[in-house]
Amino acid sequence: MLQVAVIRQEKERVIKALNKKRLFHADQLIDKVLRIDDERKAVQNNLNALQTEANEAAKLIPNLMKNGEKEAAEQLKSRSIELKSQIKNLDEQLSGLDQQLTQALYELPNLPHESVPEGKTPDDNEVLLSKGSIPKFDFKAAPHWDLIKKYDIIDFELGNKITGAGFPIYKGKGARLVRALINFFLDQATNAGYLEVQAPLLVNEASAYGTGQLPDKEGQMYHATADNYYLIPTAEVPITNLYRDVIIDERELPIKNVGYTPCFRREAGSWGAHVRGLNRLHQFDKVEIVQIAHPSNSYKLHEEMCAHIAALLESLELPYRILRLCGGDISFNAALCHDFEVFSAAQERWLEVSSCSNFETFQANRLKLRIKDKQNNKVLAHTLNGSALALPRILAAILENNQTANQGIRIPSVLVPYCGFEYIN
RNA sequence: GGAGAAAUGGCAGAGUGGUCGAUUGCGGCGGUCUUGAAAACCGUUGAAGGCAACUUCCGGGGGUUCGAAUCCCUCUUUCUCCGCCA
C-alpha cells in the first residue's frame, strides 16, 4: 500500500511510475485518494474540536457540583449529551472515510524502481544474465513426465485419487530427492546467515492482507471457510507477517529468515498447454528467503539474495538465466523483481524457479512494520523475498537435463550426500 | 469439551468511576564520575492522526455515564484444574 504522504508530496512522480506499470488512469485514482484524504482530515478536525469541548465539560461538571451550582452543571450535562451524539456521528463518518481511503489505496500497485524496464509483456523483460551450458543428447531426450513414469518416482494418477489434479505423490527416490533438495536449500540458506523458521501453513485474514494476497488475489488461495483461514500460497505470507505490527531496532537489521513450506495455489483458470507434469501444481514445496531491511541498503541486499539464488542453481549444475521483469510483467506488490529460469532440456523451455523481489515499503505500510533508530525516529522498513528455490521445476530440469542413454538419471553431486544415491535408475 | 482466573507501555507490575497516557522496578537512550568499563547518581524513554492547538489508543467490538484502564455485554487470546488425545 502506498503512503498518502508520498502520493501527496510527489504526485507527478507517482503518476509517472504508475504509468510505467501500465496503470494509465493513475491520475484519476490518485485524485480520488487525495480527495478522500482531504475530507478525512476535515472530519477529523471537526471531531477533535467536539471531543475537546466534551472533555472540558466533563472536567468542569464536578467542580460546579462541588460549588453547588446545580443549574450550570445540569446545563453542561445536557450539552454533553448533545455533543455525544454529534461525536458518534462524526466518528462513524471518519471510519467510513478511513475505509474508503484504504480501498482507494488498495487499487494502487507499488511504484516500480527506476531500473525496471518499460514494457508490456514477458517478451519485454530484460535478460540480465544467462549462464551454464544447455545439454546436448545423442538420443531423443524424454520429458520429465515420461521419465517419472519410467523410473516410477512420481505418481500423478494416484494423487488424483487422493485429492485431485495437481497433487502428485512422490515415491521412493522421487520422495527422497524432494527431501534432499529441501534440506540442501535450507542448509545453504542457514550457512548464508538466514535463520530457519517453521511457520503455519494456514494464515488468518489479517496476514493475507498484510503481504497483499488479499483483497486482490483471493481466488488464488484455498480458503478454509469454517475458520476463515487461508492455505498459504507461499511462505512469504507467514514469515513476513511475523513482523506485522512490529517496530524493529535498526541495529537488528537486516533480519534474514528462511523457511521451507508446502505452497498451495488454486491456479484458477490457468491450466492448459505448458502445464504438464511438474510444470504447474496445486501443492508444491518451496524454500523461501525473506529479509527485513533498512531502506538505505535494501537494493544491495536484493542483489545479495539474487546471488544466493544464482549460486544454488550453479551448484545444481543447471543452465539458468535471470530476468529483470518489465513494468507490464512485474507483480502488483513489487518495486523490483528478478525472475530466475532454468532450461529444461527435453521440453526445450525456460522454467521459472524463483522470483526475488524488493517490495520497498509497500508491504511494510500495510504490515505497520517500522524501524527505529537510536533517536527513536521511525521509518517504514523494506521487505524482500525470493524463492530459494521452488522444487518441482528444479526437479523437472534435473530429470530432463541429467538423463543418460543407459545409466538412468544422474544426481547433481551436491545432492548425493543428501539423498544417498548417484543415479535414479 | 467442562469449570475457574486473567489480558495495562520493550519486559515485569500498580492502578476498581473524575488532571491516568497511566505509580514503580528492569531494560533502552543521554549525561556526571572513570585512562576505559562496571557500579553509583542525574535526566530521558509508548503508538497513531494533525501545520498546530489538540485528539485517539490500557486485548478486539459494543454499551452504561456529564465523565471509563476502572462498571455491563460480547468476541478473541492466555493461564489453572478436569476430561479427551498425536
Which positions of chain B lie under 7 Å from any protein Cβ? 18-19, 29-30, 45-56, 63, 65-67
Asked whether residue A227 is domain-assigned, the answer is: yes
Claim to verify: residue A131 and residue A63 sit in the same structural domain: no
Spanning CA of A247 to C1' of B28, the rounded length in angstroms is 14
| Residue A129 CB lies within 7 Å of the nucleic strand B | no
Q: Name the residue closest to the C1' of B48 by its CA.
A: A368
Claim to verify: residue A332 and residue A246 sit in the same structural domain: yes
Asked whether residue A401 is domain-assigned, the answer is: yes
| Residue A228 CB lies within 7 Å of the nucleic strand B | no
Spanning CA of A227 to C1' of B84, the rounded length in angstroms is 22
Claim to verify: residue A128 and residue A96 sit in the same structural domain: no
* pLDDT tens string A67-85: 878 888 888 888 898 888 8
| Residue A62 CB lies within 7 Å of the nucleic strand B | yes
Contacts with A93 (C-beta within 8 Å, 6 or more apart), sequence order = A43
| Residue A54 CB lies within 7 Å of the nucleic strand B | yes
Q: Is the pLDDT of residue A355 over 70?
A: yes
Q: Which domain holds residue A23?
A: 4-106
Q: Whole-angstrom Cα distance, residue A326 to residue A115?
A: 9
Of A76, A106, A136, the position where a domain reaches its end is A106
| Exposed e or buried b per residue across A346-369, where buried means at least 16 C-beta atoms within 10 angstroms of its C-beta | bbebbbebbbbbbbbbbbbbbbeb
Claim to verify: residue A386 and residue A271 sit in the same structural domain: yes
For residue A24, name the pLDDT band (cuts at 50, 70, 90).
very high
Q: Determine the straight-line distance between the first and last CA of chain A, rounded to whole angstroms.
A: 51
Q: Is the pLDDT of residue A340 over 70?
A: yes
Cβ neighbourhood burial of A114 (10 Å; 0-12, 13-18, 19+): exposed
**Of A288, A187, A295, A293, which Cα lies nearest the Cα of A239?**
A288
Is the pTM higher than 0.90? The answer reads yes
| Residue A51 CB lies within 7 Å of the nucleic strand B | yes
Spanning CA of A301 to C1' of B18, the rounded length in angstroms is 54
Asked whether residue A112 is domain-assigned, the answer is: no
Three cell numbers, residue A184: 540442501
Claim to verify: residue A257 and residue A358 sit in the same structural domain: yes
Cell 511462505 sits on residue:
A235
**Of A292, A271, A268, which Cα lies nearest the Cα of A280?**
A271
Asked whether residue A111 is domain-assigned, the answer is: no
Count structural domains, chain A: 2
Spanning CA of A6 to C1' of B28, the rounded length in angstroms is 31
The nucleotide lying nearest A370 (C-alpha to C1') is B47
State mean pLDDT over A188-200. Answer: 95
| Bond before A50 cis per omega within 30 degrees | no
Claim to verify: residue A163 and residue A21 sit in the same structural domain: no
H-run or E-run covering A41: helix A26-66
Q: Domain with A47 in it: what CATH number?
A: 1.10.287.40
Contacts with A114 (C-beta within 8 Å, 6 or more apart), sequence order = none
Q: Is the pLDDT of residue A393 over 70?
A: yes
* Residue A328 φ then ψ, to 5°: -85, -20
Claim to verify: residue A271 and residue A176 sit in the same structural domain: yes
Give A384's strand partners.
Answer: A291, A358
| Residue A206 CB lies within 7 Å of the nucleic strand B | no
| Residue A136 CB lies within 7 Å of the nucleic strand B | no
The nucleotide lying nearest A87 (C-alpha to C1') is B55
The nucleotide lying nearest A84 (C-alpha to C1') is B66
Query: Taking the CA atoms of chain A, what radius of gyration do you get in angstroms?
Result: 27
| Residue A425 CB lies within 7 Å of the nucleic strand B | no
Asked whether residue A15 is domain-assigned, the answer is: yes
Spanning CA of A6 to C1' of B67, the rounded length in angstroms is 40
The nucleotide lying nearest A51 (C-alpha to C1') is B55
Q: Whole-angstrom Cα distance, residue A293 to residue A303?
A: 13
Give A129's strand partners.
Answer: A322
* pLDDT tens string A268-277: 766 666 778 8
Cell 518489465 sits on residue:
A326
The nucleotide lying nearest A91 (C-alpha to C1') is B56
| Residue A49 CB lies within 7 Å of the nucleic strand B | yes
Give A409's strand partners.
Answer: A403, A424
| Exposed e or buried b per residue across A313-344, where buried means at least 16 C-beta atoms within 10 angstroms of its C-beta | beebbbbbbbbbbbbbbbbebbbbbbbbbbbb
The nucleotide lying nearest A78 (C-alpha to C1') is B66
Cell 466518528 sits on residue:
A91
Q: CA-CA distances (angstroms) from residue A270 to A30, A212, A353?
A: 32, 20, 17
Asked whether residue A117 is domain-assigned, the answer is: no
Q: What is the pLDDT of residue A270?
A: 65
Cβ–Cβ < 8 Å for A248, A372: yes
| Residue A55 CB lies within 7 Å of the nucleic strand B | yes
Spanning CA of A197 to C1' of B4, the rounded length in angstroms is 36
Claim to verify: residue A274 and residue A384 sit in the same structural domain: yes
Claim to verify: residue A45 and residue A129 sit in the same structural domain: no
Q: What is the pLDDT of residue A201?
A: 93
Cβ neighbourhood burial of A48 (10 Å; 0-12, 13-18, 19+): exposed
| Residue A372 CB lies within 7 Å of the nucleic strand B | yes
β-strands A195-196, A255-264 pairing? parallel
| Bond before A117 cis per omega within 30 degrees | no
Asked whether residue A116 is domain-assigned, the answer is: no
Cβ–Cβ < 8 Å for A7, A36: no
Q: How many CB atoms lie within 10 A of CB A127?
A: 10
Claim to verify: residue A88 and residue A173 sit in the same structural domain: no
- From residues 65-124 of A, which are strand B contacts by CB within 7 A? 65, 76-77, 80-81, 84, 88
Q: What is the pLDDT of residue A273?
A: 62
State mean pLDDT over A209-223. Answer: 88
Q: What percent of chain A has pLDDT over 90?
A: 79
Asked whether residue A115 is domain-assigned, the answer is: no
Q: Is the pLDDT of residue A227 over 90?
A: no
Claim to verify: residue A152 and residue A237 sit in the same structural domain: yes
Of A80, A106, A132, the position where a domain reaches its end is A106
ipTM value for the complex: 0.86
Of A106, A137, A154, the position where a domain reaches its end is A106
Q: Domain with A221 in it: what CATH number?
A: 3.30.930.10
Claim to verify: residue A283 and residue A372 sit in the same structural domain: yes
Q: What is the pLDDT of residue A162?
A: 93
